[in-house]
Structure 1
């Protein structure tokens, strides 16, 4: 198919995993004879003026589509304003990146999540905190309890507290940042399911286990093995993907009481090397095929 694209990733994050994700997608595109270029987000500057808005960069020729593997929603939004189809959309990235917004969107559609209380906004300069709201959280959720910052990746910025003292100390540490209180799902301690969804299809899944941490993230030391999700788990992961309006996601499910699944997180830019090493399924191939089919459908609608 005669389309061309870009893959955008963050140019300032340390390590190679972010470029690695982009390169996997690029290789999958090349296999389909699609011309696709890699760009760091700092190579594409959004320009705004009274008479124009554009991208600043060296010899740029705008593509038909962009696969956006970063969380730079302002750049993603700028690309969309220029008429470029962005996978995933800036809105999907924005909701996925904000755990509070994610849980609100899921709750509005009555999808199963752990009981959650959103902490009130506290400005960084606040010196005296009225802890009445923490008493409500304790009464409703009890201990142990999970505190989550709204923004964070790879299981970081997620904390398990066992008593009021630990809770208050953690709040002091993260004051000024949006966060939430959440019930601790003991039946899922150190284990969860990662399901990769592309379009309306579950394409790969694994179970993650950690022996010495309540979080199951592989980056934090967890192990992984292939997993065949039930139809209910597949439907839940697909529904979660649709709620945030994403084209592809990595959905994390917890093992709730009585084997009922709970949605823990929706990742709009879930990395795919681990799932490949675990299952030998290359999610990048499915993403590229999805993009090709999207453009084919658009062409048919124009006929």
Structure 2
């Protein structure tokens, strides 16, 4: 199996895990990729990537890539999402994170809307274009203290607490003057602790409790500490974590929630598959192994379906003298000289190449 990792960093552990399982890995920087949409109705879209040739990029051979793993974030996130979408929708390559799901996950209120639609319990939350009515908005979420968030941000950044009336009014009036959207959320007292659970497919494979240090935020990036709590989670809590991931259409996600007691939880955010590796160091569980197993199952299923479809599409012999192999080889030779292939022809050609390509 050949897997492409979309990232602008080395992804050493993920690469090692894939190679240890016997798979080929190619690391692609989304910023170095060029996307091409063809003029043909049946589709003949392509991907190009920067090369040593100063005059033109190199065409990426897509027939050998079975799946992609997006590990994208930062300033080029939305372009990288377009790359993921091209692989998914235009080229039919399986991705562990859907471009739409990852886009939703970067928007905290859009995420809240999807979780509400999925009947997931969350803290009371208000979203304001410009927070013109500070007291009214804060009262809606239960009064002070209250948590404020900007719609986008990670690692606890762009998250703040409002504890006094003066402080809240000043903060929200400042955001109003800046024409800044803001999320105001009910503050759930839990000793600056929350849980990050890793969902892969239909299963929670890892979980850690994070505890803030001199801060109400529990993020490790803000100086917090962590411990393994997977064995402490109830089946209902695990099922709700999976529901959160599925609500955004993600096969690989980090779910953040506050646990006051078993089955008494408030779900906060969904991380779209770019969860850091600190959880692996803390729990000792390499969830990339579970991710590789998921990809293997998805690619195997897709390969079996494609093979069955291709086998059924090979013409039957027109005479008793022609064998099925002869007909198949004729089809291979016909496709071999074509300047372009439709998606169906591309799948057929890939299948037939395994049978007759070595004869050339």
TM-score of the superposed pair, with normalisation by structure 1:
0.85
Aligned to 1:194: 196
Distance 1:221 1:242, change over 3 A: same
CA 1:138/1:271 → structure 2, altered by over 3 Å: closer, same or farther? closer
Q: Which residue of the partner structure matches residue 48 of structure 2?
A: 56
Match of 2:164 in 1: 163
SS of 2:195's partner is strand
Q: CA RMSD in A?
A: 2.2
Q: Deviations over 1:105-157 (max 9, x none)?
A: 0111211011111112x5xxxxxx7x23x332122121111111111111111
Residues 25 and 288 in structure 1, CA contact (< 8 A), matched pair in contact too: no
Structure with more relative contact order (C-alpha pairs < 8 Å, separation 6 or more) = 1
Q: Take 1:251 and 1:209, find their aligned partners in 2: how far apart are those partners?
A: 16
1:125 match:
none
Give the greater-gyration-radius structure (CA). Answer: 2
Q: Determine which of 214, 217, 240 is the counterpart of 1:236.
A: 240
For 1:271, the equivalent position in structure 2 comes to 275
Count of equivalent residues: 282
Residue number among 95, 110, 123 corresponding to 1:101 in the alignment:
110
Name 1:23's counterpart in structure 2: 12
> Does the residue aligned with 1:271 lie in a helix, a strand or coil?
coil
- Shift of the 49–148 alpha-carbon distance from structure 1 to 2, 3 Å rule, reads farther
Structure 1: which 5+ runs fail to align? 12-18, 123-128
TM-score norm. by structure 2 comes to: 0.73
What's the counterpart of residue 207 of structure 2?
205
The question of 1:86 aligning with 2:87 is answered no
The C-alpha deviation readout for 1:33-70, integer Å capped at 9, x for no partner, is 11111122211133457677543313322222210111
Equivalent position SS for 2:161: strand
Q: Name the SS of the counterpart of 2:154 in structure 1.
A: coil
Q: Which residue of 2 aligns with 1:218?
A: 220
For structure 1, which segment, 77-86 or 274-283, has the greater mean C-alpha deviation from structure 2 after superposition? 77-86
State whether residues 272 and 284 of structure 1, in contact with CA within 8 Å, keep that contact through their aligned partners in structure 2: no
